[in-house]
Amino acid sequence: MKKFWALFFWFWPLVALYVCLIAPGRNWWFPSKPLSTLGHQIDGLFYLILIIVTVTFVGTEFALGYALWKSAVSEPGKKAWFSHGSHKLEIVWTIVPAFVLVFISLTQLDVLADIRVLSRFPESVKEAPVAEVMARQFEWRIRYPKPGTELMTSPQPGDLYFVNEVHVPAAVPTMINLRTQDVQHAFFVPRLRVKQDAVPGLIIPVWFEIEEAGDYELLCAELCGWGHYKMKARIVAESPEGVSAYLTRLEREQNEDGVQEAETASVK
């Protein structure tokens, strides 16, 4: 029975190791491969930490198993060695984790800065948000600047409005201004690995470069009230021409005076 426990504690690290090795290839950790440039860096950090944690876990478990095994096979009656108060050991297990943590925090600094710090944003997007995404209980309200003009922080005549659907260009860096009208929300696009809180009173620039055209799910990731689960929207990534065609269509719809529409209806 004593040997069983040693084998038991050796068995689990092997399982953990196996799972960690096959998980990335099978998308067990993430809903898909990362589909934005920042996503690759974020996933890279995740896997780095995963490796560190796996090595630590497997090492600790094996040591535990070894201790159990050793005492299981030792002669009956042999007394345990009392090891409390080893100054050397204390120093080792304080310094080693400290180095690991400092290493992690230094490694992620660049990625964090790329995500958050405006001065490190790609030059092409710094001054040119494509849209304002206004979170509110419980939907996403989108404001685009009038085609040909820049997005202003306050609404301008000719601005275009939509709800729960954002059209952005694919394959080029894109920036949106994130705001909230009421409480805290979070702009979360799992497949792009973008997650940013929307904070009352702040205009928070969020940038991403979507690698593949297509539809992306946008969710609220900050419990914002009883209707939090309703806050689902769609990001449509398409060619820049597609986006401008969309905006032209939106502009036409937003200026409908009911007359043109009625004429086409009677033609049908």
Residue numbers at the binding site for other proteins (CB under 8 A): 116-119, 137-139, 141, 149-150, 152-158, 161, 163-165, 199, 202-205, 226-227, 230-234, 253-262
- Whether residue 138 has a cis bond before it, omega within 30° of 0: yes
Kindly state the smallest distance separating residue 200's Cβ from other proteins, in Å: 12
Torsion angle (degrees, nearest 10) of CA 173, 124, 254, 267: -70
Q: Which of 176, 161, 178, 165 is nearest to 222 (CA)?
A: 178
What is the SS3 assignment for 194? strand
Cβ proximity to other proteins: between 95 and 202 the closer is 202
Cβ proximity to other proteins: between 61 and 191 the closer is 191
CB 219 within 8 A of CB 231: yes
Kindly state the smallest distance separating residue 189's Cβ from other proteins, in Å: 14
Cβ proximity to other proteins: between 63 and 262 the closer is 262
Cβ proximity to other proteins: between 99 and 161 the closer is 161
Longest dimension (CA), the chain: 101
H or E stretch covering 233: strand 232-238
Kindly state the smallest distance separating residue 265's Cβ from other proteins, in Å: 8
Kindly state the smallest distance separating residue 243's Cβ from other proteins, in Å: 18
Token pair, residue 16, equals: 């953990």
Kindly state the smallest distance separating residue 204's Cβ from other proteins, in Å: 5
